[in-house]
């Protein structure tokens, strides 16, 4: 079994049946908890490996995304890059600006204006969380977002919404890949 097949099997094992309310507010008859995959050592290793294989082709200097879903994936990608001798910066985007201290939206090494970055997500439905994270990030930095990359696209409008906003979007797996 190759890495993609093994990771798909792990992701499929995290699909929960039953009605749930998603972050977008929409109702769904199933839930994919990306953290069940990315907080498992093998799941994170495979996710990071497959994402890093794509990212290293895009000439970027940083990867990051909205906390909490992106947190383990960002760390895994940084480790995968370091294992190959590559240097990447990581960043995490809060749901809102921190209410004390430096009152930052984004945590991590400073990003220069125009720095080429990839935004990481675990599971994407409508793309709204990614757009909110980018909006928050842009209050602090002016990056060039090369691509938005996620573990699973639920195929509920994110591709169209993100494209309309001017962003390229790619997923390791789609709802269809998972047999949904």
Residue 75 within any structural domain of the chain: yes
**Tens-digit pLDDT profile for residues 70-109:** 999 999 999 999 999 999 999 999 988 766 666 789 999 9
User: What is the token pair recorded at 45?
Assistant: 């290793």
Residue 179 within any structural domain of the chain: no
Q: Which domain holds residue 108?
A: 3-174
Residue 66 within any structural domain of the chain: yes
User: So what's the pLDDT on residue 101?
Assistant: 67
Q: Whole-prediction pTM value? A: 0.93
Residue 180 within any structural domain of the chain: no
The CATH number given to whatever domain includes residue 138 is: 3.40.50.2020
Give 53's contacts (C-beta < 8 A, 6+ positions apart): none
Distance separating alpha carbons of residues 162 and 44, to the nearest angstrom: 25
Work out how many domains the chain is built from and give that number. 1
Buried b (16+ CB within 10 A) or exposed e, 89-125: bbbbbbeeeeeeeeeebbebeebeeebbbbbbbbbbb
């Amino acid at each position: 079994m190759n890495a993609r097949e093994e990771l798909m099997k792990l992701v499929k094992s995290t699909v929960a049946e039953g009605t749930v309310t998603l972050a977008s507010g929409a109702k769904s008859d199933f839930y994919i908890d990306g953290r069940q995959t990315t907080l498992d050592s093998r799941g994170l290793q495979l996710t990071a490996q497959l994402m890093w294989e794509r990212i290293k082709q895009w000439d970027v200097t940083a990867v990051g995304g909205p906390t909490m879903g992106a947190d383990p994936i960002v760390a895994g990608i940084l480790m995968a890059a370091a294992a190959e001798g590559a240097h990447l910066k990581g960043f995490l985007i809060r749901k809102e600006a921190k209410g004390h201290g430096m009152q930052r939206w984004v945590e991590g090494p400073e990003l220069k204006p125009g720095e080429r970055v990839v935004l990481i997500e675990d599971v994407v439905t409508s793309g709204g969380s990614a757009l909110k994270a980018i909006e928050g990030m842009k209050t602090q930095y002016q990056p060039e977002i090369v691509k938005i990359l996620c573990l699973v696209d639920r195929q509920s409008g994110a591709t169209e919404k993100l494209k309309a906003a001017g962003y390229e979007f790619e997923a390791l797996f789609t709802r269809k890949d998972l047999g949904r």
